[in-house]
Amino acid sequence: MRWFFQNASNRLSFAVRNPGYALRAVLREVTLADERFLAAATGARASEIRRYLEEPLSDPKFARHLAEGQRIFDELKLTSADLYAKKVLIQYVVTRALRPRHVVETGVANGVSTAYLLLALERNGEGQLESIEIGDPAYLPAGRGPGWFVPEWLKGRWQMHLGDSRVLLPELLRRLGETDLFIHDSLHTYEHMGFEFRAAYPYLRSGGVLLADDALWNPAFPEFARESGAKLARVIRGVGVLRKNGR
């Protein structure tokens, strides 16, 4: 569990402040609860999910990129992203297990999650990532553009669209016709999350997966899970995971 020991001091500090949450997290690790749910949502095996969790740090090239990125984040005093967070790995794991042809992501910012997604597609040997980013410089370090963290060697399967997802998302989905995986990671307001879920869901294939970062910030995700009648929906490490009913 290499990922578990990254940023160990931060994790220990959080555990001391939140002992109940920390205990539940340990129990989930021991029982493979998260892995078993993600396996059911993607059609993989729990053992495969566990293996996928280990892959990014086992990839020498990507591990070096993360280490260099951590140095830059520390120098810039950026605390908005944990390069080794399990919630980021969840997106990676779902992409590896689902083997999507089309992935649509809203919200890029520095591009940490985007880099993980592109690594997953590269390891799959197939798939394209379409990202929508509004490009607000308030969320970026000075002199850096959206997605600056994504390495050049992973950009071959990536297309970024700059603009408001309220305008670009419906247009992009109509052009694609269908998507296998939709990831919300843009504005986390109740209204905006609900808009994106309802815009993306009709284009999500049967058996496809919808992910929502920071799904506990408001009730938009659980409400949509009930509204859609999803049989498999859960929040794992702050990420809402919903499988569209079907095959």
pLDDT digits (tens, 9 = 90+) for 66-110: 999 999 888 888 776 788 888 899 999 999 999 999 999 999 999
CB atoms within 10 A of CB 18: 12
**Identity of residue 29:** E
How far apart are the C-alpha atoms of 12 and 22, rounded to whole Å?
9
Q: Which residue do the tokens 């919200």 mark?
A: 107
pLDDT digits (tens, 9 = 90+) for 23-62: 566 666 666 889 999 999 999 999 999 999 999 999 999 9
Contacts 24+ apart (CB under 8 A), 218-223: 218/188, 218/189, 218/190, 218/193, 219/190, 220/190, 220/193, 220/194, 221/193, 221/197, 223/194
Q: Tokens for 140, please give them.
A: 């970026």
83 phi, psi to nearest 5 deg: -65, -15
Consecutive H or E run containing 233 = strand 232-236
pLDDT at 74: 87
pLDDT digits (tens, 9 = 90+) for 192-238: 999 999 999 999 999 999 999 999 999 999 999 999 999 999 999 99
Q: Please, which pLDDT band fits residue 14 given cuts at 50, 70 and 90?
A: very low
